[in-house]
């Protein structure tokens, strides 16, 4: 026969087990969320890759260089855009003398959002006086084979 004491104990046990399941689920959920977060560098790499794959090309002019930032302007359907790109992660694709970059270049931009643009990526370059990505890869292979 059930008494009040055994019913309370069973109720407490169920609550404790339920609490343990909730805490365990929260811990696993938090860990999964932390692992799935994308770093800003990876987000930028994905943006560049999407523009290489789906972006439209146009002509642009590099107007200024400030450290790792390059400022450029371009026209899309009669609207002038002025943009910048951080090239700090892409230094290996740049010439040693950056002043030669100032002038005409090609730009890739998103047709739905023309302000989303770039002039250099890992697999594409709009720079007209540069080492191509293929040349950089072959130079790396030569250096690795010499070691």
The 10s digit of each residue's pLDDT in 62-97 is 999 998 899 999 999 999 999 999 999 898 888 877
pLDDT score for 10: 77
Q: What is the mean pLDDT of residues 100-105?
A: 87
Predicted confidence (pLDDT) per residue in 19-58, tens digit: 999 999 999 888 888 777 888 899 999 999 999 999 999 9
What's the DSSP call for residue 55?
A: P
Residues 2 and 123: their CA atoms lie apart, in Å, by 74
Handedness of CA 7, 10, 12, 14 (dihedral sign): negative
Q: Distance (Å, rounded) from C-alpha 41 to C-alpha 47?
A: 10
b/e for 116-136, b at 16 or more Cβ within 10 A? bbbbbbbebbbbeebbebeeb
The three-state secondary structure class of 62 is strand
C-alpha distances out from residue 83 to 69, 95, 130, Å: 10, 21, 20
Contact, 60 vs 119, CB < 8 A? yes
Where are the domains positioned within the chain?
Answer: 1-37, 41-146
How far from 57 is each of 33, 47, 68, 124, CA to CA, in Å?
36, 15, 23, 11
Q: Which two tokens stand for residue 73?
A: 């302007």
For the chain, the straight-line distance linking the first and the last C-alpha, in angstroms and rounded, comes to 82
Residue with more model confidence, 33 or 134:
33
pTM above 0.75, yes or no: no
């Amino acid at each position: 026969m059930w008494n009040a004491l055994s019913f309370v104990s069973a109720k407490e046990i169920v609550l404790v087990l339920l609490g343990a399941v909730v805490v365990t689920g929260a811990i696993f959920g938090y860990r999964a969320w932390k692992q799935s977060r994308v770093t800003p560098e990876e987000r930028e790499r994905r943006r560049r890759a999407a523009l290489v794959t789906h972006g439209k090309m146009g002509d642009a002019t590099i107007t200024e260089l400030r450290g790792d930032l390059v400022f450029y302007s371009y026209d899309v359907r009669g609207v002038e855009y002025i943009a910048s790109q951080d090239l700090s992660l892409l230094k290996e694709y740049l010439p040693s003398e950056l002043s030669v970059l100032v002038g005409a270049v090609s730009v890739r931009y998103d047709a739905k959002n023309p302000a989303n643009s770039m002039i250099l990526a890992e697999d594409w370059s709009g720079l007209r006086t540069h080492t191509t990505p293929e040349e950089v890869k072959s130079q790396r292979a030569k250096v690795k084979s010499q070691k």
